[in-house]
A and B are shown apart, each in its own frame.
Chain A
Amino acid sequence: DIQMTQSPSTLSASVGDRVTITCRASQSISSWLAWYQQKPGKAPKLLIYKASSLQSGVPSRFGGSGSGTEFTLTISSLQPDDFATYYCQQYNGYLNTFGQGTKLEIK
């Protein structure tokens, strides 16, 4: 099975900061990588699919990059609404695996 490792587990940042979250796959997944945002008590929300494609309606301050085994989610200028937990997900083939999550906290 493909394992997904996110770093860091927790990230403290301020409004206006540029932040980057990393996700590594245990084997190549081409570009079959998605990023989700989840707020407490709510369902996850798809932000990025196929490593770098922005889901409709998602602000352009969110960006994704990478291929193979290493991927990043970048938020160019943090807004108050962005403080949440972020998950990566590989969907290469028929099985899916999520990363363990990165909690983005207000500094």
Chain B
Amino acid sequence: EVQLVESGGGLVQPGGSLRLSCAASGFTFTNYAMSWVRQAPGKGLEWVSSISGGRQSTYYADSVQGRFTISRDNSKNTLYLQMNSLRADDTAVYYCAKETGGDHYCDTFDIWGQGTMVIVSS
């Protein structure tokens, strides 16, 4: 069974850091690009960042560029999101998602994890 399980969410103060993880199973992880998508409470979906499978090229939304870093460890089938300089408007459920292709070009998201909540508050 294809599965994505996120972890690492929690409460953090403004300006703080947090690292999210997403453990993947049931598919050949290195063959697929992976992404993070977030959803603020009561709001819509916002794409955050993506990373291609083999070359590990990275892509970011303007709202997180320079503060968030996406990475992956293909030997551990795990995706990461390092979040620094967190702000209140980063508060959201963060989903990891498997893409339909390997290079994040014209790929959509066919498998999603259950999400992990990040709350940025003092």
Size category of the binding interface on chain B: 20 to 34
Of residues 94 through 122 on chain B, the ones whose CB sits less than 8 Å from some CB of chain A are 95, 100, 104-110, 112-115
Residues of A in contact, count (CB < 8 Å): 25
Our pick among B47, B50, B59, B110 for the contact of A46 (Cβ within 8 Å) is: B110
Our pick among A43, A55, A89, A93 for the contact of B95 (Cβ within 8 Å) is: A43
The answer to whether A96 touches B112 (Cβ under 8 A) is no
Our pick among A44, A95, A97 for the contact of B112 (Cβ within 8 Å) is: A44
Our pick among B100, B105, B112 for the contact of A43 (Cβ within 8 Å) is: B112
Residues of B within 8 A of A (CB): 35, 37, 44-47, 50, 59, 61-62, 95, 100, 104-110, 112-115
Residues of A within 8 A of B (CB): 1, 32, 34, 36, 38, 42-46, 49, 55, 87, 89, 91-101
